[in-house]
Structure 1
Amino acid sequence: MSRYAASFASVRNHLMRGDSYLLNLCVSTPVETNLTLRHLFRFARAPYRMLLGPDARISGVHGRGCVCFSPEPFVTVRGRSISTFPMKGTAPSATQEARRWLETDEKENRESATIVDLMRNDLSMVATGVKVKRYRYISPVETSKGSILQCSSEISGLLPENWRSRLGEILLKLLPAGSVTGAPKEATCRAIAEAEDMERGFYTGIFGFFNGRDLDSAVSIRFMEEDERGMVYKSGGGITVMSRMEEEYREAVAKVYVPFDF
């Protein structure tokens, strides 16, 4: 916890100075398991999964194998309709009490409002008619420790007719994902680099599938990485001036799980 406390203090300093008003702070936790990355990929149940390594490593890029079982879409495109689904807010269980807390907690509500506003602005750089279609809907996520609740929103707009020939340009304008950085994005990214004592690598990036017609992509969260020193699990959460260090630390720890259904 001491490492997290030092990073949290750095983040709070930036928040109090006004450099950022929401920052996603991430940490790496060493884990021990007799499962390989391929086993984790095979047995995990998640809307989006990715495996790199160890026999599928990309030479020269971080030199690590990783597995991701993400519950969070980044952007989807159907026809000309583009949608993003920022996930902000986690309850450690799926009880009615936990749901009520997630729905009414002021800090969680402010996080959602900030990121929805950020992502609405981001989408407006590449699409027209941008609007919030669903605000703060709650979904269960299965973990090996039981169900937890996640809060998301849906924001949509209309891409130009030639979007397929400009897909790389469009994605670069939207990156990095606002839900795993914060706002304002540029200053917050500088504060993240100062506060975190790890290299994110592929964690909090994006991955997806484009078939020439439609696009599905996800944010690389719920993420384990392996190198010569062993495995680490990377997790984090949004920090505001209302955050309490112990509570945020517990949330980061609660996100260290694998979504097995057995």
Structure 2
Amino acid sequence: MENKQLEEKLNKLGSNKEPFLFIISYDLKEFYVEKLSKLPSNIKYKLNAKHTSKIKHKTTLLKEPISFVAYKKKFDFLQEQIKMGNSYLLNLTAKTKIKTEYSLDEIYDKVHSKFKLRFKKDNSNFVCFSPERFIEIKKNKIYTHPMKGTIDSSIPNAQAKILGDIKEMAEHTMVVDLLRNDLSIVASKVRVDKFRYCEKINAGDKKLLQISSKISGHLEENWHEKIGTILASLLPAGSITGTPKKKTIEILEEVEDYNRDFYTGVFGVYDGKSLDSSVMIRFIEEQVGVLYYKSGGGITSDSKVNLEYEELQDKIYLPF
């Protein structure tokens, strides 16, 4: 999935040490890149913001999710692909029609999240409040923090249960291995600095434990001139596709029957010295006056369809 125009534009801005915002769709076909000095006021973002896992306000979302029968059909198809050896992990996503009393602008202002973005331009109108960093580059080192695995923190011994779950362990290990290999394309001395640690996330009417790992590598001093090349080499993100990446993307394209667009793409900022970015999950988009919340989860051979269907809906929330 290449976009030479995007790659060249980012490389040029980086070469000039010009600070900019970038927003890239899942398939790299759509993108928005603008110098920070020229960024319009209606495009808002926050990166690596301090946030709380405390629930301050309970918010009800009316959801009209994909039916269990329709979801199971997709799930079963993916299980067949796994049995045939075409993939080992696939991140199946769907879009859910929702109703809420809040506008997208109000949601952006109210949500507590590490990374958030409000974007409205041309045919794209969405808000994203993601807990997941994509890559961070500082002092010639590149870092990525894949997230894979969630559990309701109110479940007794939740942390011990998810860290000891064989299916969750296998899924997370596959993503870490994929991201480590991806990072090796652009960096040297790639290593896993921290494997499977827990973070608490405010999920509206409940708290979730999210499992992450930290991977790092060394870049050449002229990495500023290669920002576009680095991003193009790593996208789409491994945590929202699967492994092996190329074949898994083809399978997901066949089974998901909707366009992810900017959902599960990335956004970030280069400030002239360092770069930080986020995977665009926890995503609400407006289409012809209707709101859709896009969500998903990783499917492996050990996955249980009822639990995955439940997780798809658990991830539909507003962290106020």
Which category describes the TM-score, using the shorter chain as reference length? over 0.9
Letter paired with 2:88:
Y
The range that moved more, 85-94 or 130-139, is 85-94
Letter paired with 2:140:
R
Distance 1:128 1:178 in 2: 19
Any idea what the Cα deviations from partners look like across 1:27-76, whole Å, max 9, x if unmatched? Answer: 111100121110010101101001112xxx1x3xxx23110000000000
Q: 1:94 to 1:171 in 2, by over 3 A?
A: farther
The range that moved more, 91-100 or 182-191, is 91-100
Instruction: Work out which of the residue numbers 54, 59, 80 in structure 2 matches 1:13.
Output: 80
Q: Report whether the alignment pairs 1:219 with 2:279.
A: yes
Q: 1:8 to 1:82 in 2, by over 3 A?
A: same
- Residue 229 (structure 1) shift: 4.8
SS of 1:235's equivalent in the other structure is strand
Q: Report whether the alignment pairs 1:27 with 2:94.
A: yes
Letter paired with 2:192:
V
- Residue 95 (structure 1) shift: 4.6
SS of 1:216's equivalent in the other structure is strand
Q: Report whether the alignment pairs 1:237 with 2:304.
A: no
Q: Report whether the alignment pairs 1:259 with 2:319.
A: yes
Q: Report whether the alignment pairs 1:41 with 2:101.
A: no
Letter paired with 2:100:
T
Letter paired with 1:40:
I
Instruction: Work out which of the residue numbers 240, 264, 288 in structure 2 matches 1:180.
Output: 240
The range that moved more, 225-234 or 105-114, is 225-234
Equivalent residues of 2:187, 2:217 under 8 A apart: yes
5+ residue gaps, structure 1, are none
SS of 2:221's equivalent in the other structure is coil
Any idea what the Cα deviations from partners look like across 1:144-182, whole Å, max 9, x if unmatched? Answer: 112110000000000011000110000100001000000
Any idea what the Cα deviations from partners look like across 1:113-172, whole Å, max 9, x if unmatched? Answer: 101111001001101110000000010001211211000000000001100011000010
Distance 1:10 1:190 in 2: 13
Letter paired with 2:112:
R
- Aligned residue runs from structure 1 range 72-221, under 5 A: 72-221=132-281
5+ residue gaps, structure 2, are 1-67
SS of 2:157's equivalent in the other structure is helix
- Residue 94 (structure 1) shift: 4.6
Distance 1:120 1:144 in 2: 32
Distance 1:259 1:215 in 2: 26
TM-score (norm 1): 0.94
Distance 2:214 2:295 in 1: 23
Letter paired with 1:115:
V
Equivalent residues of 2:203, 2:315 under 8 A apart: no
- Residue 96 (structure 1) shift: 4.9
Any idea what the Cα deviations from partners look like across 1:83-134, whole Å, max 9, x if unmatched? Answer: 0000000002255521111110000000111011110010011011100000
Distance 1:102 1:215 in 2: 32
Equivalent residues of 1:7, 1:197 under 8 A apart: no
Q: 1:96 to 1:164 in 2, by over 3 A?
A: farther
Equivalent residues of 1:87, 1:150 under 8 A apart: yes
Equivalent residues of 1:94, 1:140 under 8 A apart: no
Of all paired residues, the percent bearing the same amino acid is: 42
SS of 2:284's equivalent in the other structure is strand
Distance 1:172 1:78 in 2: 19
Q: Which runs of 4+ in 1 moved over 3 A?
A: none
